[in-house]
Amino acid sequence: MIDIMPISLLDEEQEAEWFYSGTISSYDRCAASYAAQNDSISEVEDLLTFFDKEIPCGASLLDVGCGHGRDAEYLSSLGHTVHGIDRSEKLLRMARERGPKSHFVEGDIRSLPFRDRSFDGLWMNAVLHHLIPPHMLRALTECHRVLKPSGLLFVSVHLDDSSGWQTRGQDFVRYYARVSGAMLAEFLRDARLTPVRMTSRSAESRWLHCFARAHAG
Ligand SMILES: C[S@@+](CC[C@H](N)C(=O)[O-])C[C@H]1O[C@@H](n2cnc3c(N)ncnc32)[C@H](O)[C@@H]1O
């Protein structure tokens, strides 16, 4: 369970760190069940296929918030060179086991430990909504920095009307931020990323899928 903290005494950054450590330790605790429930590629296969068509053959890719490495493994099987980054030690261990050819590092998506213009493409599925809005912009700015000019970013977010903890049982305790399509579009623009395709599965879908290209410079 998460520790109870006197939120009113924390500034925004401290409060965010508290959200993040609670969320990441929940992913660590639920790693086995998360991997089992999210093992099928079918949920994202059409998006991965579009991504693959839009990047060069043998591209250099980063899976940002790679979790247990399902998508990294798939992209690697298509002949790309894949790196992955995540804060959950337990999920990373699984990613390393299933993708020995890929390179996985423990780190935060707000500060990517890679040189400028390292990647042809970045894949960021279901991660950004775990950050408070100023940190979403920071993470997208990092994405722009490590992408080559015209490199492709895929980002998916869960659209929520309010922010806060979501809990299911003792171990599922995650912070979700309020995110809208307009907010994501504004952050992408501010991070010098141009959306080329934004879709939802259906009118009722709470998921937004966006492909964006890095501006040069
Ligand atoms: C819903 S899972 C998605 C995992 C993977 N992308 C997938 O589609 O299966 C969210 C992931 O984001 C990671 N994460 C959340 N905040 C992060 C941060 N600030 N830096 C790095 N990873 C983070 C979590 O550890 C978790 O693996």
For residue 19, is pLDDT > 90? yes
Query: What is the CATH classification number for the domain harbouring 207?
Result: 3.40.50.150
Residue 36 in any domain: the answer is no
Instruction: Output the six-digit token pair for 68.
Output: 């247990």
Q: How confident is the model at residue 1 (pLDDT cuts 50, 70, 90)?
A: low
Residue 24 in any domain: the answer is no
Question: Does ligand 1 lie within 6 Å of residue 21's CB atom?
Answer: no
Residue 217's pLDDT is what?
66
Residue 3 in any domain: the answer is no
Q: How confident is the model at residue 160 (pLDDT cuts 50, 70, 90)?
A: confident
Summarised one tens digit per residue, pLDDT across range 74-131 is 999 999 999 999 999 999 999 999 999 999 999 999 999 999 999 999 999 999 999 9
Q: What is the Å distance from ligand 1's center to 170 Cα?
A: 19
Share the mean pLDDT of the chain: 94
Task: Find the mean pLDDT for residues 152-181.
Answer: 91
Residue 145 in any domain: the answer is yes
Output the residue whose Cα is nearest ligand 1's atom 4: 67
Q: What is the Å distance from ligand 1's center to 150 Cα?
A: 25
For residue 23, is pLDDT > 80? yes
Query: Residue 9, SS3?
Result: helix
Of 14-18, 129-133, 191-195, least confident by mean pLDDT is: 14-18
Residue 72 in any domain: the answer is yes
**Residue 148: which residues within 8 A CB-CB, separation 6 or more?**
117, 118, 119, 120, 214
Residue 110 in any domain: the answer is yes
Beta strand extents in the chain (DSSP E only): 60-64, 81-86, 103-106, 119-125, 147-158, 164-168, 172-176, 193-199, 207-214
Summarised one tens digit per residue, pLDDT across range 60-69 is 999 999 999 9
Q: Tell which wins on pLDDT, 176 or 2.
A: 176
Q: What is the Å distance from ligand 1's center to 76 Cα?
A: 19
Q: What is the Å distance from ligand 1's center to 85 Cα?
A: 9
Among all chains, which residue has been given the structure tokens 């000019």?
149
Q: Which domain holds residue 105?
A: 42-161+179-214
Question: Does ligand 1 lie within 6 Å of residue 90's CB atom?
Answer: no
Residue 172 in any domain: the answer is no
Task: Find the mean pLDDT for residues 144-167.
Answer: 94
Residue 58 in any domain: the answer is yes
Instruction: Give the chain's domain count.
Output: 1
Pocket test for ligand 1, best of 24, 75, 143, 172 (most atoms within 8 A of CB): 24
Q: What is the Å distance from ligand 1's center to 67 Cα?
A: 5
How many angstroms separate the CA atoms of 116 and 107, rounded? 17
Output the residue whose Cα is nearest ligand 1's atom 1: 126
For residue 192, the 8-state DSSP code is T
